[in-house]
Structure 1
Amino acid sequence: MGYPKSEEEPFKFRSGANVQSFMSGIISYSAGTGAWSIYGPIGRAWKADGWERSAARLPTSNQDCGLIRGGCYQKFEGGSMHWTQSTGAHFTQGRIQRAWRTQGYERGRLGYPTSDEYSSGANKRQNYEGGYILWSSKAGARIFYS
């Protein structure tokens, strides 16, 4: 992480949570989640999504970059963020993430996510290297392969 660039300070929108900036990233801390580093493409995606105000909320692990094809992931209170050089960093959550898990996450036929979850009519959709997952309250999560 390098040298500190700031003092530890509270997150603006999360009571009881603190953040400290370092040369190559930040460390987030709360009593409920612990202290975790966030950096690189996953850190930049989390920042772009709104830090502690995002659907991800606060991190609950450090990054693990031991995934296939050089991929990384990091767990958050609201789900997880996966990254590869070719797909970028994307957040997965809820029922779409559970459907992705049933087919083996990044090792399965869908591979890594290529988009965040978004609305598609009355459905939620997330795109993957090998297809997409569509979720609706009526039909649940359905996997479509390319």
Structure 2
Amino acid sequence: MFDEIEKKWASMGGADGVLGKPYGESRKTIDGNGKYQRFDNGSIYWNPDVGAFYIYGVVESKYTKMGYESSYLGFPTSDTIDLGDKRSYNNFTGGVIYCHPLFHCIALRGPILDKWKQMGAEKSVMGYPVREIQATEDGKGECQHFQFGDIYSHPDHGIFEMRGRPRIEWYKLGGLNGKFGPPVSEVTESEDGSYQNFKHGTIVWHGKQQKVDIQEHGTA
């Protein structure tokens, strides 16, 4: 077994630890920049830039499906972290995998991941990710769905959260491909409800009146 991997495994209790016994030999990773070792209940990955970390369970299954370190996720930069209630996550050089029994395992990356973390990650108003990142029609931006909203990122427009009634009405109008286009501001709470600005209009929700005000700005 490769020395750094063996040290990590020993620090976890060796064969009596969470990973159990090793099988096979330590191997080079697909990209040739690191090594990995399989165990009864998971794997340890090592890379000279980040060190050795273990990954197991549904997180490892998702990582495997995405192509291991050859995917945009790269190498693990943390051990698999158990959040309880069958929830877990793992950090990587290029992103993160979050797992929830209701939403399975979802990968996040880039500006959307940064925004979500700034908001408080799974404890934020957005909740857990429920769908993989999707590219915008022009291929330059991305959007990701969460339990209670979306995060949209585009180099030409910025990165914004979408939630509440303005988001619902925006989808009714066609979403990203609709006449209002992408968001250009955060959703803003007001005494009467909430509103959000889009490229070609504003959607206002009057909570007390239970009324939606659609303000189109034109497409010029």
TM-score, reference length from structure 2? 0.62
Runs of 4+ more than 3 Å apart? none
1:101 aligns with 2:101: no
SS of 2:69's equivalent?
A: helix
Consecutive unaligned residues of structure 1, counting only runs of 5 or more, are none
Give the deviation of 1:47 after TM superposition: 0.6
Which residue of 72, 81, 90 corresponds with 2:97?
81
1:34 aligns with 2:51: yes
Which residue of 38, 62, 65 corresponds with 2:82?
65
Give the deviation of 1:28 after TM superposition: 0.5
Q: One-letter code of the match for 2:161?
A: I
Which residue of 116, 126, 133 corresponds with 2:144?
126
Q: Distance in 1 between matches of 2:23 and 2:32?
A: 22
Rg (Cα) greater in structure? 2
1:116 aligns with 2:101: no
Q: One-letter code of the match for 1:38?
A: I
1:6 aligns with 2:24: yes
**Number of equivalenced pairs:** 144
Q: Distance in 2 between matches of 1:55 and 1:116?
A: 13
Give the deviation of 1:32 after TM superposition: 1.1
Q: Deviations over 1:55-83 (max 9, x none)?
A: 1100011011136x653111100121111
Instruction: Name the counterpart of 1:48.
Output: 65
Larger RCO: 1 or 2 (CA < 8 Å, sep 6+): 1
Q: Distance in 2 between matches of 1:101 and 1:37?
A: 23
SS of 1:46's equivalent?
A: helix
Q: Distance in 1 between matches of 2:150 and 2:28?
A: 38
Consecutive unaligned residues of structure 2, counting only runs of 5 or more, are 1-18, 165-220
Q: Distance in 2 between matches of 1:19 and 1:6?
A: 11
Q: Distance in 1 between matches of 2:43 and 2:64?
A: 11
Q: Distance in 1 between matches of 2:63 and 2:152?
A: 23
Which residue of 155, 158, 174 corresponds with 1:140?
158
What's the Cα RMSD here?
1.4
Give the deviation of 1:2 after TM superposition: 1.3
Q: One-letter code of the match for 2:57?
A: G
